[in-house]
Amino acid sequence: MALYYLDGSTLSDSTAVYTDVGLTICAADGFYSDNTIVRELANCVLLPAQACPSCNVPCSSSSTISLSSGGQGMYRTSINVGNTGTSVGAIIVEFNPRATPKGIQSLYNGVAYNKISSPVDGYHASTTPANFTFIGDIATDCGISGSTYLIPEYNYSYINTQFEATGNTQSLTVAAGDVSLSSAQPGECVMVIPKLSANPDTLNINVPSPCAPNTFTLKVYCPRLLTGISSTFDYSSKIQACETDPSTTIYNVPVNGTFGLPGIYDWIFYDEYGQGLAVDGWYKLASGDVIHVVDGVVVAIEQC
């Protein structure tokens, strides 16, 4: 295997690639990768970085990305969500921030996603749709609301199964509306991202952590079509819903429930891709139970 030398500390912050330690002989034009990004070398100049698709973490029901001991930072992960036979459906992200507050934002097909549901207390989201949503235990808040930080940047390496410093830093400002902390650790929180077509197949997830110490886990499931549930349309009261027979189909993404059987704080959608979030209201199920949905999340399950 050929040995190459950089004029920076990482591929991200370098300007060229060389074949000698003295940095006098430029490497041949072509593409160079560090298993996280790829950059083209043209006339001894590195062009802007691109994600390396073959180096992205494959979506999986068993693979967990974790940070067991870290400090402040912007932690970035690229996921291949097109590596299975099911190319469309709902991409389900499980994120456990542990105690210290951490943000989360997913980027797919040019759209930012930041809504998340906790098994402990349900819906969390920044008041600004494209911002990070910061979740965690309020008891370990290091005063993030309204603060600005200069934090190091890390990319997750699928090959080395760890977050690696890029050598870059990023300015992070946490607006008051971005902070949605809980009275305890929020647990395995769930985010849903609709995938309507085979491409694109890369999902980017950014986790900023302005506090330390820093631990979290992240799991991304491959897209799947959701299970339909016989239901009524939405009604403004439980009584109205109970007086009506189911005549439509809704779909849940489990947070405390199971597919096809909603639990408290589950996500509810109008389609099997997880795109159309259910509006606020009461829904009667074929089982006879009624669920109360607020912000697309089940906040109560009762009987008629």
* Of residues 302, 75, 42, 113, the one with CA closest to residue 211: 75
In this predicted model, what pLDDT tens digit does every residue of 271-287 receive, in sequence order? 999 999 999 999 999 99
In this structure, which amino acid lies at residue 5? Y
pLDDT digits (tens, 9 = 90+) for 244-257: 999 999 999 999 99
Token look-up 């650790």 returns 185
What does each of the 304 residues of the chain score in pLDDT, given as a tens digit?
467 889 988 888 899 999 998 999 999 887 787 766 778 889 999 887 766 655 788 898 778 999 998 899 999 999 999 866 668 999 999 999 999 999 999 999 999 999 999 999 999 999 999 999 999 999 999 999 999 999 999 999 887 889 989 888 999 999 999 999 999 999 999 999 999 999 999 999 999 999 998 999 999 999 999 999 999 999 999 999 999 999 999 999 999 999 999 999 999 999 999 999 999 999 999 999 999 999 999 999 999 9
Given the DSSP bridges, would you call strands 162-173 and 111-113 parallel, antiparallel or unpaired? unpaired
Phi and psi at residue 242, in whole multiples of 5°?
-65, -25
What pLDDT digit, counting tens, does each position of 163-187 carry? 989 888 999 999 999 999 999 999 9
N residues, the chain? 304
User: How far is C-alpha 7 from the geometric centre of its chain's CA atoms?
Assistant: 33
Residue 89: left if φ>0, alpha if ψ -120 to 50, beta else—which one? left
Using a 10 angstrom Cβ sphere, with 0-12 exposed, 13-18 middle and 19 or more buried, the burial of residue 110 is exposed
Question: What would be the CATH architecture of the domain defined by 56-224?
Answer: Sandwich (2.60)
Q: How far is C-alpha 136 from the geometric centre of its chain's CA atoms?
A: 15
Q: Which residues contact 137 (CB under 8 A, 6 or more apart)?
A: 99, 100, 101, 181, 182, 183, 184, 185, 186
SS3 call for 195: strand
Instruction: Provide CATH 2.60.120 ranges for the chain.
Output: 56-224
**196-206: per-residue pLDDT in tens?**
999 999 999 99
Find out whether the peptide bond into 200 is cis, omega within 30 degrees of 0: yes
